[in-house]
Structure 1
Amino acid sequence: MKPYKYILAAAALTLGVSLTGCNDDDDLIFPDVPETPTGDVKVVASSVVDGAVVNAADVETIYLNYDGIVSLNPAAHITLNGTSLWAETTDGGLLLHVELQPATAYTLDVPATAVIANKGNSYAQPFSVTFATASDASAADYLTTLSNPSASTQARKVYDFLLAQNGKRILSGAMANVNLNNDFADWVYGTGYAYPAVTGYDFININDSWIDYNDISAPLSQWNKNGLVNYMWHWQAPTDEAAYRAGDTSRYGFYAPGASEQSTEFDIREALKSGTWQNEFIINDIDKVAAVLRKLADAGVPVIWRPLHEAAGSYEYNNPWFWWGRYGEEATKELWKLMYDRLVNYHGLNNLIWVWTAQYSEGYEANMAGGYPGNEYVDIVGVDLYEDNNDAQPGAYQAALAMTGGKRMVALSETGALEMPADCIAKGANWSWFMLWYTYDIANKGLTTDDFGNTAELIRQVMQSPFVINREQMPSLK
């Protein structure tokens, strides 16, 4: 150690003067600071706010404005992602010099002993801010209108809100249990201390009597509290005409043969032919769903509508799971357009935001794009991902975005292991929302970790991220 540096450091500490110009400080050891109370002086403004997404090239300094006179304590360090910063005092605060990289999440930490206030009589209060830098990739040129030119005011407001948040914040979401309630959302609230901004429901049992889908109290409660409503459809179809005529739902299924015991021989090719019993069935079922969607429309509730999900089945596009994807992408696209026409043009349902769900696996991007119905029939693209890690999945995001020509937003329409929001934003995986798939009856089981390994701590970390919007932060879009 160089003795003169020790003496200079001690003098600086005594006089409340900052040392910021020393370049050779690797071997500089500062004395311990005596116990000093933390006072009332605090940061009242920061040039980078919590949760901000900034361009790396635009930020060379971060300014912290304090409500009192401050100086730097050379025995403590202000850090950015754990690395000490060059800091200097200015009129009213501190100027921190930074070198930011694109597509990176940052945490600025000013510890309790780093800033001296009240002429050395106390420390300023600690301060931290989390922000991210944007990816270098150019922003997508999204279509600013929905596919339905007659879309309701509420549907347009939801879409506009999602556009405004894209690349800045990700909406939280949770899928409801199949018995049409908000129990899983309540569990997420109890675990993550916030309600999901989006709650998903499923028409899976529309042909059974044990669920009354005309009871819209669960989605209506979500909407009335400023949350968004999502419906999907595990569409169960009869395995033969006898099951259809008898209404024998024990012989209905949504899986293609061989994919599960709950399978069906229902043939989408026949369903697309006018005059067949299969065509009669799909029209009747679409009309049943339309009746519920009409009730929601009459109540002023826009619906993020996601039917015919995961049509490709296998992520390698060689083993369809569901009957609507069993005979190839062209039949699925034709069914999508038939449903679109029936709901929008025949039933006049203008409260729908149409979400197409794609499957992603690296190397199969062309297959992914080949199944897309087109921007004129789709408002948002969803990707269902069940990975064994918490990565942002930027490859899946970029592939889905490219599929639309960069014109439609992309959502993480189903997920298991939760992705880290700051990492998503930093890597340019600008998911519109994420939808955590439910763990059945988790609340009654008293569990704090779900079926995908998401612990209470991790769920809390995600839900409380400054890059996430929960229902509590949602504006009224009515």
Structure 2
Amino acid sequence: MKKNLFSTKLLLIISFALLVFSCKDDDEVTGTQRYKEPPVLLSSIPATGGTVSFADNSIRLIFDREVTVVDLGMVSVNNAIISGSSISGDTLIFTLDGIDEKTQYTLTIAKGAIKGVPGLLNQEDITVSFNTGEAPALTKTLVTPNASAQAKNVFNFLLENYRNKIISGSMARVNWNTDEADRVYRWTGKYPAINTFDFVHLYASPASWIDYSNTTVAENWWNNKGLVSIMWHWNVPIEGTSNFGFYYTGKNNGEGETSFDITKAVQDGTDENKIIKADLDKVATHLLALQAKGIPVIWRPLHEAAGGWFWWGAKDANSYKALWILMFDTFKAKGINNLIWVWTTETNDNSWYPGDAYVDIIGRDIYNKKDAAAIYKEYLSIRKTYPGKMVTLSECGNVANISQQWSANAKWSWYMPWYDYNATDESEHSHATKAFWTDAFASDKVITRDQMPSLK
């Protein structure tokens, strides 16, 4: 009896051992097999043939095991850029730059670009195709309550042409003139459609050399079907002197610098606040004078704030936004209704944005950038951040030709090169050469003043 019991136990032990070794062999075979196979794509987000928002900028690929990227340069997507990759377990994530609306894209991972862990390099191309949907609808109403008929006409004109054509613009030679536009006319036989003026010398007006109360130059431009734009390099007193400046201390090599404190300027009752309110009253007088003559204004104040080089951007975002809203509310209380409000982004500065209720158009100032694809990348990033707003090249200088930018899909509402104070008709222009303007006006996508309708 004991012998039989011993035999039975022995058989059980042997059977268990055989089972264990059999399973081990199976595991070893399976593992060996995996080492001999390339990774297999199981699914993707978006799925092949799917449609995603044009604001999406990543694609996720789920494999049957962990993978590594051997050569990111062997991964591509048509009409866009692979800017990075990351791995989370069996999921490979690619970050895409340049994804636009209503476009079909195909991500291609070339043979040998990725490797399974464990496993081999991918032995054939892996592709995922997807489509992007339309961008969200643009805001069709101005933020100014009871906007004037002329302001509405201009805004609707901008909306109608946005991403279909680009409107040409020029900057005054410092303040209250059309000198740059006149030079462009002498070069090309055509005027830009927009002329931008600057209240930079508000503190000195009226004077023999500057008088903003004389609106003849703006009237003539508007009466010739041109659009009037005004910006404001806001000069304030420089402490301990009789001079004025708009650069913050330490931002312009000592020239025109002020330590004027915006955090105090937005506090009722401070000396800084009194200066601000007096200037707003003065500007309001000039804007109301234009309004009385039926002239709408594309208004771009407090620009490039997040850069920190102007006093209005030298402190914090909340103080800046408070100043913007103070200006907006002051003008509203005075009955100013002829403005189209343009806010200028430095990109990645959404915390400085005053809000959709206070801004009609988003501007971007770009200098010394000849790469049209890089400019398009900025344009698209802004569109995605502020999808309900038109985007414009509010200032530029020494950039890719407008035809190149348009071909790269940087379809700004308008463009405006900065002035060159010392330029002549014969000399090179530091921001926009004769060749730049000739190229722009040769395009049927560029609107010049002679092509403008009456928007009165």
> What corresponds to 2:368 in structure 1?
387
> What corresponds to 2:279 in structure 1?
285
Code of the aligned partner of 1:325: G
> What corresponds to 1:168 in structure 2?
164
| Distance in 1 of aligned mates of 2:313 and 2:234 | 12
| Distance in 2 of aligned mates of 1:194 and 1:390 | 27
The 4+ residue runs of structure 1 with deviation greater than 4 A are none
2:283 is equivalent to residue 295 of structure 1: no
> 1:428 Cα deviation (Å)?
3.2
Code of the aligned partner of 2:450: E
2:334 is equivalent to residue 352 of structure 1: no
> 1:136 Cα deviation (Å)?
6.3
Question: 2:187 touches 2:425 (CA, 8 Å); kept in 1?
Answer: no
Code of the aligned partner of 1:399: S
- TM score, norm. by length of structure 2: 0.68
Match of 2:435 among 432, 438, 457: 457
Question: 1:102 touches 1:426 (CA, 8 Å); kept in 2?
Answer: no
Question: Which digits, 9 at most, give the CA deviation of each residue in 1:129-162, with x for residues without a partner?
Answer: xxxxxx9662441011001131100000100000
Match of 1:331 among 319, 343, 346: 319
> What corresponds to 1:269 in structure 2?
263
Q: How many residues align?
A: 323
1:147-226 equivalence runs, <5 A:
147-208=143-204, 209=207, 210-226=209-225
Q: Equivalent pairs: percent with the same residue?
A: 42
> 1:390 Cα deviation (Å)?
5.4
| Distance in 2 of aligned mates of 1:277 and 1:310 | 25
| Distance in 2 of aligned mates of 1:397 and 1:137 | 18
2:451 is equivalent to residue 473 of structure 1: yes
- TM score, norm. by length of structure 1: 0.65
Indicate the RMSD between aligned Cα atoms, in angstroms: 2.0
> 1:179 Cα deviation (Å)?
4.1
User: Which stretches in structure 2 are left out of the alignment for 5+ residues?
Assistant: 1-101, 105-130
Q: Which has the higher helix share?
A: 2
* Secondary structure, aligned partner of 1:400: helix
Going from structure 1 to structure 2, the CA distance change for 1:302 and 1:213 (only over 3 Å counts) comes to: same
> What corresponds to 1:124 in structure 2?
none
> What corresponds to 1:436 in structure 2?
417
Question: 1:380 touches 1:411 (CA, 8 Å); kept in 2?
Answer: yes
Question: 2:420 touches 2:430 (CA, 8 Å); kept in 1?
Answer: yes
Q: Which has the higher strand share?
A: 2
Question: Which digits, 9 at most, give the CA deviation of each residue in 1:275-296, with x for residues without a partner?
Answer: 1111000000011111110110
| Distance in 2 of aligned mates of 1:191 and 1:448 | 12
> What corresponds to 1:370 in structure 2?
351
| Distance in 2 of aligned mates of 1:136 and 1:228 | 35
Question: Which digits, 9 at most, give the CA deviation of each residue in 1:315-356, with x for residues without a partner?
Answer: xxxxx1010001111111110000000012x21100000000
2:446 is equivalent to residue 447 of structure 1: no
> 1:220 Cα deviation (Å)?
1.2
| Distance in 2 of aligned mates of 1:475 and 1:429 | 24
Question: Which digits, 9 at most, give the CA deviation of each residue in 1:415-449, with x for residues without a partner?
Answer: 0024433443443322000011111142xx34342
Question: Which digits, 9 at most, give the CA deviation of each residue in 1:457-477, with x for residues without a partner?
Answer: 332111221110010100000
Query: Which one is further off, 454-463 or 369-378?
Result: 454-463
> 1:192 Cα deviation (Å)?
2.7
Question: Which digits, 9 at most, give the CA deviation of each residue in 1:47-86, with x for residues without a partner?
Answer: xxxxxxxxxxxxxxxxxxxxxxxxxxxxxxxxxxxxxxxx
Question: 1:448 touches 1:456 (CA, 8 Å); kept in 2?
Answer: no
> What corresponds to 2:231 in structure 1?
232
Question: Which digits, 9 at most, give the CA deviation of each residue in 1:201-255, with x for residues without a partner?
Answer: 0000001133101111111111111110010000011133x65xxxx2x2x2100
1:59-208 equivalence runs, <5 A:
138-208=134-204
Code of the aligned partner of 1:254: F
| Distance in 2 of aligned mates of 1:446 and 1:474 | 25
> What corresponds to 1:343 in structure 2?
331
Code of the aligned partner of 1:329: A
